[in-house]
């Protein structure tokens, strides 16, 4: 059995660890991170050339199942995976960590786009902590009257906001560390995506303790008709089921 795992997420790596000893596993990484943590098994880096290219790759490499374990906001590759799996008649499963949910004391401002996030954050404060990734920085570049702290794994590329500091770091992050960061930089607003998981969740607790507003970008849904599980263990069980796995559509 040959499976393709899409994504370099923590969940994707964990799934590869669970199954690579008993099935042939190929993990596909987008290549946007300079020094990614590599999973066990075979690894490929880079795009496929859209849905058609991915469908061709699935046929040529005789893939038996695809697990879309990409980041919850990687909706383009998820859409391509759904189309390619249907075209190649290969079963597809989406592995998505659960999203975050507000608790008592949170001051959340949900939005649907980064452009909306920029407008809301600008109204809420002038010292803004961005944890939305380096690829979305352009949405904030038009704001001249705010100071931004961007945390990302790799350096961003322009366009930048006029007043920007960059903190290169990779999670997981601790609650004490997030408390210190918010205090040290006098942060007034946190902007983040609903990525879910525990690696970056402490920033939400720290923001709640400091009574800071959080502008949070809602995650896009998985493609219609694609089954979804929330843990690598459940994805491994789906693969083990064998005869219960069915192609989409």
Task: Split the chain (249 residues) into runs of 10 and give each run's mean pLDDT.
Answer: 94 95 94 76 93 97 96 92 97 95 96 97 97 90 96 91 94 95 98 91 97 96 92 94 49
Instruction: Convert the pLDDT of each residue in 202-213 to its tens digit.
Output: 999 999 999 999
Give this prediction's pTM: 0.83
Do 92 and 189 share a structural domain?
A: no
Do 48 and 112 share a structural domain?
A: no
Number of domains in the chain: 2
3-state secondary structure labels for all residues of 125-161: CCEEEEECCHHHHHHHCCCCCCEEEEEECCCCCCCCC
- pLDDT score of 38: 87
Burial state string for 161-181 with b = 16 or more CB within 10 A and e = fewer than 16: beebebeeeebebeeeebbeb
Q: Which two tokens stand for residue 139?
A: 């949405």
Instruction: Convert the pLDDT of each residue in 78-103 to its tens digit.
Output: 999 999 999 999 999 999 999 999 99
The answer as to whether 103 is a domain residue is no
The CATH number for 58's domain is: 3.40.50.720
The answer as to whether 233 is a domain residue is yes
**Range of 42's domain?**
2-98+220-244
């Amino acid at each position: 059995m040959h499976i393709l795992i899409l994504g370099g997420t923590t969940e994707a790596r964990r799934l590869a660890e669970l199954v690579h000893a008993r099935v042939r596993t190929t993990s596909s990484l987008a290549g946007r991170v300079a020094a990614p943590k590599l999973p066990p098994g075979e690894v490929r880096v880079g795009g496929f050339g859209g849905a058609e290219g991915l469908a061709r790759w699935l046929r040529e490499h005789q893939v038996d199942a695809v697990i879309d374990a990409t980041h919850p906001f990687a909706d383009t590759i998820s859409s391509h995976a759904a189309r390619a799996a249907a075209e190649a008649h290969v079963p597809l499963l989406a592995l998505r960590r659960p999203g975050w949910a507000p608790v008592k004391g949170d001051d959340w401002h949900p939005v649907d786009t980064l452009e909306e996030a920029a407008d809301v954050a600008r109204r809420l404060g002038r010292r803004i902590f961005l944890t939305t990734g380096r690829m979305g920085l352009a949405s904030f570049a038009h704001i001249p009257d705010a100071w931004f702290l961007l945390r990302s794994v790799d350096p961003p590329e322009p366009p930048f906001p006029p007043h920007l500091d960059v903190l290169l770091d990779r999670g997981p992050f601790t609650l004490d560390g997030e408390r210190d960061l918010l205090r040290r930089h006098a942060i007034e607003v946190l902007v983040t995506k609903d990525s879910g998981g525990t690696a970056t969740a402490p920033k939400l607790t720290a923001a709640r303790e400091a009574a800071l507003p959080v502008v949070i970008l809602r995650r896009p849904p998985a493609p219609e008709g694609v089954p979804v599980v929330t843990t690598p263990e459940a994805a491994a069980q789906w693969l083990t089921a064998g005869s219960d796995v069915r192609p989409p559509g």
